[in-house]
Amino acid sequence: MDNEFTEARIRKLLTLYEQRLQQLSGNGDDLSDAELSSEVQRIIQEIQHERDRADQNKNHILQETNYIPALDEALNFLEQALETVGTTNFESKLDDAAFSLGYYRHH
| pLDDT at 46 (0 to 100) | 94
| pLDDT at 87 (0 to 100) | 86
| pLDDT at 3 (0 to 100) | 65
Angle between helices 89-106 and 67-83 (to 10 degrees): 180
A 10 A CB-CB count for 94 gives 27
Is 82 strand, coil or helix?
A: helix
Q: What is the pTM of this model?
A: 0.85
Alpha carbon separation from 38 to 11, 82, 100 (Å, rounded): 25, 9, 21
A 10 A CB-CB count for 57 gives 11
pLDDT along the chain (107 residues), means of 10: 74 91 82 90 94 86 83 95 90 92 80
Domain boundaries, the chain: 7-106
Q: Could you tell me which CATH class the domain 7-106 is placed in?
A: mainly alpha
| pLDDT at 31 (0 to 100) | 84
